[in-house]
Amino acid sequence: DTGVSQNPRHKITKRGQNVTFRCDPISEHNRLYWYRQTLGQGPEFLTYFQNEAQLEKSRLLSDRFSAERPKGSFSTLEIQRTEQGDSAMYLCASSFNLLGQGDGYTFGSGTRLTVV
Amino acid sequence: KNEVEQSPQNLTAQEGEFITINCSYSVGISALHWLQQHPGGGIVSLFMLSSGKKKHGRLIATINIQEKHSSLHITASHPRDSAVYICAVRSASGAGSYQLTFGKGTKLSVIP
């Protein structure tokens, strides 16, 4: 297993277009997270899956954003009608629970989206 | 006010210096993570701790739960340590609080 894989690494799109990102987590990890990071800021939580169930969504996740994890393995994050403010690094992470110690996280390398 | 505050925001050090990065948080937590982010975006998990102290090579992380404070120390710093170091916490409240809340990061530059 090579860790958490995200594709594509970079995406440039025109405003108004739809984009889709993919995340392949570590196979043993049942939890998958999407975060968004803008320049000079720490990542911000977008949404979280446990297996195929989407259990939490941030208020940052507007109606134009949708995430799926259909078989409890890989996940996709789609942004419809992209806006310039969507330009950011989109990070995926997966985790498993270490009993009594919280989640051990592994992050992907991220997908950098630029909306022009 | 951000729930997770890091200091300093920027740090420049000479190679070989001992470095300390601080993290304070305002909520009860179940775990605290120290992460390293290099230019290009990839994040590497350095430590996850809920009490005490952990050491890995030249890196040491400590946490004081009562004071809601953690520190990351780098001994004998090297230019390859140059990166952004991020503190992140997992809230202790509620069964669904699995996401992390991040600080803004500390940008470290180690000069040869």
Residue pLDDT, tens place only, A28-70: 888 999 999 998 888 999 999 989 999 888 888 889 999 999 9
- Are residues B77 and B65 in contact, defined by beta-carbon separation less than 8 angstroms? no
Q: Mutating which of B36, B43, B51 best tests the A interface, going by the most A Cβ atoms within 10 A?
A: B43
For the beta carbon of residue B73, count every other beta carbon within 10 angstroms: 16
Cβ–Cβ of A105/B40 closer than 8 Å?
no
Q: Give me the pLDDT at residue B97, please.
A: 62
Chain B interface, best mutation among A39, A103, A106, A114, by max B CB count within 10 A: A103
How far apart are the C-alpha atoms of A81 and A16, rounded to whole Å?
4
pLDDT band at A11 (very low <50, low <70, confident <90, very high): very high
**Cβ neighbours around A71 below 10 Å, total:** 9
- With a pLDDT cut of 90, the percent of chain B lying above it is 73
Gyration radius from chain A CA atoms = 14
The answer to whether residue A108 neighbours chain B at the CB level (below 8 Å) is: yes
- Residue A28 confidence (pLDDT): 84
DSSP type of residue B89: E
- Cβ distance A110 to B33 less than 8 Å, yes or no, reads no
A42 to B43: CB separation less than 8 angstroms, yes or no: no
A101 closest CB neighbour out of B40, B50, B86: B50
